[in-house]
Amino acid sequence: SLALRQSSTSVDSKLETPTTSSSTLDLAKTLEVTHPAFEVIERDIITEYGAYCSLYRHKKSGAELLSVSSEDDNKVFGITFRTPPEDSTGVPHILEHSVLCGSRKYPTKDPFVQLLQGSLQTFLNAFTYPDRTCYVVASQNVKDFYNLINVYTDAVYHPRAVNDANVHAQEGWHLELENKNDPLTYKGVVYNEMKGVYSSPDSLLNRASQRSIFPDNTYGVDSGGDPRNIPDLSFEQFAEFHQRFYHPANSRIYFSGDDDVYDRLEIMDEYLKDFDFSPISTEKSQIKWQAKTFTEPRKEIEYYPVGSNSEQEPKHMINVNWLLNDESMSLSEELVWGILDHLLMGTTSSKLRKALMESGLGEAVTGGGLSDELLQATFSVGLKGVPAEKTAEVEKLIEDTLLEVAKNGFEADDIASSLNTIEFQMREFNTGSFPKGLMLMLGSMSKWLYGKSPTEGLKFEKPLAQLKKQIDESGSQVFQDAVQKYLVANTHRSTVELAPSKTMEEEQLNEEKDRLAALKQKLGDKDLEEIIKKTSELKALQGAEDSPEARATVPSLKLSDLKRETNEFPIAISENENDTGVTVVRHEFGSTSGIAYITLNVDLSNLDLDDVPLLPLFTAMMTETGAGDLDSVALSRKIGTHTGGVGVGLFTTALHPMGTDQSAANSGEYMQTKLQISGKATTDKVDELLSIFKLTLMDAKLDSKKKVIEMLKESRTRLESSIQGSGHSMINARMKARHRVGGYIDEIQGGISYLDTVKVLLKQAEEDWPSLLARFEKIRSTILEPSTVRGGMIIDITGDKMVMEKIQPVVDSFLKELPGDAKGKKLPDFYTDIHPWVPQAKKRMAEMTPIVDEGFVVPTQVNYVGKSGMLYDEGENIPGSAAVVSRFLRTGYLWDQVRVMGGAYGGFCTFSPFSGFMSFLSYRDPNLEKTIDIYDAAADAVMQAADALEADPDALATAIIGTIGDMDGALQPDQKGAAAFQRWMINEHAEYRQKYRDEVLNTSPEDFRAFARRLKDMKQPSVAVVSSKAAFESAAEKGKKMILKDIL
């Protein structure tokens, strides 16, 4: 339930709840809305979230519709179908991709892309679960919102895909052959996406774990699709799956936000009235319970690919998995499990996670603990990086730790900390970049999908009060009982071990080649000619432009619908507040529910560049190794008991030097570099929050050899997984490091080169701890140098008026208690002086990240292909129109060429209007050298697009609207405060933002031509690719040679 995922004791009513007001009375009236086509099933008010809910059933079709009215202007619409698969051909996943490729009312190739290109959407996506498929849109603009709803609704109920086998071929799989003598190949977006998933050891472990405990129901197969099974899916089976499950009677329709309830019902009736009730759809989609049938735990061994040239001995991965329930849990039991999961796994100091990491048996915790989004909950935990001979010890350690918990329970302070953490999250309901309505929708599905009330799982006050009463009466017993019942005494358990294989990658390649070769051998000339013909037809279809008439069917906004003014957020600067030498920045908003969001910034510019790669580890140590008199467990408890969380991170940004043209390409040599301690708390707990800030800053326990070794092993494992599974992000960071000082600094703290640093630091920690400790102590003493520390300190606070007033005395005290001299020396003026790290960083960039074509070798079935360079010289004007053109490239040419025709899961580009840096990237791509050729041809494509846009002003308007949509995303108050702080830190003026927006709105075809010319003349272009050894060898034969480095 949402109560578990959004999961907090002592917050109680310190977070403000809405009071009765005229707006509340207006919301109450929404419960009275009726419509002749619908009957009302139930009405409910979720007071926890100020949500007024009406559940309707469409009389003719049987569709259920949950209408949630709130004050949230970020409106959300979703349709969810129960779609349980019977095999691992990936049919629900392929259908999720395919239904958005044209429909009855909107006969274009890809209305989804048109919406991406030209709407103000704040969310536009679809996703496949093991038992459901969700289609979701969101927008703050009512007209735009209803445009999105129309396209999505027509798509799911009347898709072109079920009548056009080319859609299944493109999105799912097809045989490709251009010449009779060539080998057959498999292509398809989902096929290639899942090859990427099945190249990730973490994904293989998680999938094998789920399969192992669900032998008898739909959760035992892969709804995403196993690449070995995807080619078994026929078009007929694909179309039949839609017919079976995509009926209104099997759908759950959801609305939330501040739009009109009657309008919601009216628009849906237009679609639903075409259907009669279909009991078969609902009967066939019922999810069968997996009974707990194991009389004793089971064990499975699977394999994952490792590089044949691996320097170190490859290690094993292990997960122990439980099926928790085979009948419904009560809301109270679910909340117990939400808290218990945090007690066991939620922080580095949680009992089970701590035991595993401190054991030295492995390098990183796996499994993730509780998973409760489906009909039945599971619990999985284990380790990766385990020596082969130690796997049994991992399993025993997990068993012994859980037995100890069942016997002795948890300390009262630990329970209070976890309970407060979860309650704070539930009450704050801060969903970050996701719309709040989307999170409510996903929470409702955990009950609604299985025949229960959709609002049941969204309420937490009653089960929370019950749980607090139980804890008051019997302490830890409720958690001990849950551990005993659901884990210790539960024999429906599996242990999945993943063993490394140096031959698996080659075996998979050969298996696919042999399968295709055998298939080709069986085919006659006529069959091969038919495949060649279909390949040609599909490519022609993919390459063809939609007619203007077809494009015009997709509804869109007009430029006149757009707001011309930029969104500005409140900011007040108080330099040298109370003569303390510290700057305080404030952002006051209408309401932050009684929560203060505070960040303490401490300057890093006096550090040596040699110590910068240690900063990620140093900042992690500040909250994970203990501080002052508190060990790591006690510090974690203190943070959890009194706050909504504390984190330490790094803030490195280039800025606009004083007196320069902010539209000009920036050198990046003027920078701000800060250590940031961030946290949030209710007003009455801000004193505790700031005491934690001071404690971790001044007195973190740096002499923690064992803990640091654990952290470094975990970092190494995480980086290796990132390079293998998120190669596009890693190569983008690498390419930025070739051109930008800031990019280089980011790369040495978290990019591909940082992996080598982590290995060196691990060796140093194990063999010469005193020398590494001395480096950490030097970092702390340097940043806390009394004569300069206060001059570089900035406190950033976001809150409402009442919050600001209540916390001011605490802030005054904190300012006095901070270290350093209030009248100390001034730091350099970073807005007039080049940052001290820059001269040395530029020298090292030439040595460490030269502008050359690089390839990073990992075991994988897919490629991550990047190309980058500079489009503008320092000082040249970068117009806002460049954002429109680069976005047009991303959602048009690259989408079509790399994804649709190339078969990659993603193809996109990034452009910086600050520096003029441009990069092309692909994700889970079957191609390597072909993708580079596509990048090379991008300039010509933009030039051709400019000519086309001259004749089609609506298409140009679409590109502009989409760009404005990106600029005007929905933000929470803390995000608005952070955005205002960043704008101030980089010295970006409101006048520049307005000028930039005006240039976006006034983009012309000539701007496209100007951008195309710059793309054609890209300066210092280079390539970076993550791929397999075989793919690099093939690319080299075709003239694409790179300097290779083995990563795994």
The residue to which tokens 């502008």 are assigned: 851
- Among candidate residues 632, 712, 683, 692, the one with its CA nearest the CA of residue 798: 683
- Among candidate residues 293, 292, 398, 391, the one with its CA nearest the CA of residue 352: 398
**Residues with a known catalytic role:** 96, 171
Give the Å distances, CA to CA, from 561 to 119, 333, 479, 606, 713. Answer: 11, 49, 55, 50, 53
**Secondary structure class of 302 (helix, strand, coil):** strand
Alpha carbons 49 and 206: distance in angstroms, whole number: 33
Beta strands in 118-167 (DSSP E): 121-128, 132-139
Q: In what order do the strands lie in the sheet with 583-589?
A: 572-574, 583-589, 794-800, 595-603, 671-682, 646-654
Alpha carbons 636 and 411: distance in angstroms, whole number: 13
Concatenated DSSP letters of 205-241? HHHHHHHHH-SSSGGGS-TT--TTTGGG--HHHHHHH
Q: Give, as one character, the DSSP assignment of residue 664.
A: B
The contacts of residue 400 (CB under 8 Å, 6+ apart) are: none
Helix (H) or strand (E) holding 306: none
Alpha carbons 779 and 607: distance in angstroms, whole number: 7
Helix (H) or strand (E) holding 1021: strand 1019-1027
Helices 741-750 and 727-737, packing angle to 10 deg: 140
Alpha carbons 867 and 99: distance in angstroms, whole number: 32
Assess contact for 232 and 151: CB atoms under 8 A.
Answer: no
Beta strands in 898-1018 (DSSP E): 906-911, 917-923
Count of Cβ atoms closer than 10 Å to residue 312 Cβ: 10
- Among candidate residues 719, 600, 665, the one with its CA nearest the CA of residue 1047: 719
**What is the widest separation between alpha-carbon atoms in the chain?**
88
**Secondary structure class of 363 (helix, strand, coil):** coil
Assess contact for 721 and 638: CB atoms under 8 A.
Answer: no
Q: Structure tokens of 861?
A: 């079935």
**Backbone phi, psi, residue 387, to 5°:** -60, 145
